[in-house]
Chains A and B, each alone.
Chain A
Amino acid sequence: MEIIYTDNLAKLVTNATLVIDTCVIVDTTKSPEFLALMRRMKGEYNAALVSIPAVKQEVLSVADNKKEYETLKESIKALDVVFLPSAVEDKFEREGMKFSIAMRRSRYVKDPSFVDKLLLAIPYLYRESVEKIFVVTSNHKDVPLDIFDRVGFIARDNGKEFSQVGIYKFNQEKFSKITQKI
C-alpha cells in the first residue's frame, strides 16, 4: 500500500481543525497506513478531527447486526473523531442562509444533500473562531470550488483501489463573490 501526500500536509494540519467526511472514515478501515496517518494528525500534529452526528450515522448504517454495529462504532472511536453536537445545526439555522444560497448558486454542485451542506458549512460557520479549519473528503464532486480551494491531498493506492482524499479550505473572497446581491 502506498500513501502519497502533498509536501504541505504537516504544516496544513498542525493545530488545525479537520472536518471529516463519511468516505474518509470508511477509507481509514481499508488501509492501516491511512489509519495511522490520520491518527498521527491528532497525536503528532495536534489536529482536532471533528464531524457531525449524521456522518457517524452514515457509517453505522452499514451494519446489519449488533456485532457489526459495535465494531464500526469502536473503529470511529479509535480514530478519535469528535462529533459536534446539534449546536452546529442550530448555528446553521441561525447563520447559514448565505452559505445555503452560495451552495445553490455554485456551478460545481447540484442538489447537495443536507449532510454535505452542513459539513461544508462548518468552516464557514466557525471561520472567526478557528484559525485553520479544513474539510477532508474524497467526495470531490460535492465540494464547490467556487467557494473552496483544494489546498492539499492524500492519495492511497493498494493496486486495486486508488483513492484521493482532498483537503479543502473555505475561501472568503470566493464566497463574497458568489453571494453578491443576495
Chain B
Amino acid sequence: MSKNEFRQEIERARERQNAREYTDDEAEKIRQKAAKVFEHYESDMVKRMSEEMKDRMHGNYLYR
C-alpha cells in the first residue's frame, strides 16, 4: 500500500461515516453536553469500574 493509498483509505472511511465539518462553536456545545454525560457516569459507574477500564477511559499518569 502506497503512502497516498493509506490516506485515501482514511478518507474513504471518513466518507462512510458521513463525517462533516463542525464549527468551533458547534463542537464546544457538543463537548459541554458530553462532559455532562461523563460527570453522570463518573458519579456512579466509576466506583464499579475495573482498574483496567479506568485506565482505558481516563489513562494513567505514570512517570517513567
Residue of B with least CB distance to A68: B37
A36 CB contacts on chain B under 8 angstroms? 24, 28
User: How many residues of A are counted as interface, with CB atoms below 8 angstroms from the partner's CB atoms?
Assistant: 53
Interface string of B25-53 (1 = CB under 8 A from A): 01110110111111011000100000010
Q: Is the Cβ of B10 less than 8 Å from the Cβ of A84?
A: yes
Kindly identify which residue among A30, A32, A82, A113 contacts B13, using a CB–CB cutoff of 8 Å: A82
Tell whether, in the assembled complex, residue A32 and residue B38 are in contact, meaning their CB atoms are under 8 Å apart.
no
Asked if residues B3 and A131 are in contact (CB atoms below 8 Å), the reply is yes
For the complex with contacts A62-B41, A129-B5, 20 further pairs of A-B residues with Cβ separation under 8 Å are A23-B55, A29-B35, A29-B37, A35-B27, A58-B56, A62-B57, A64-B40, A64-B41, A71-B34, A72-B37, A75-B30, A75-B34, A79-B27, A82-B19, A84-B10, A115-B56, A128-B1, A129-B6, A138-B59, A142-B55
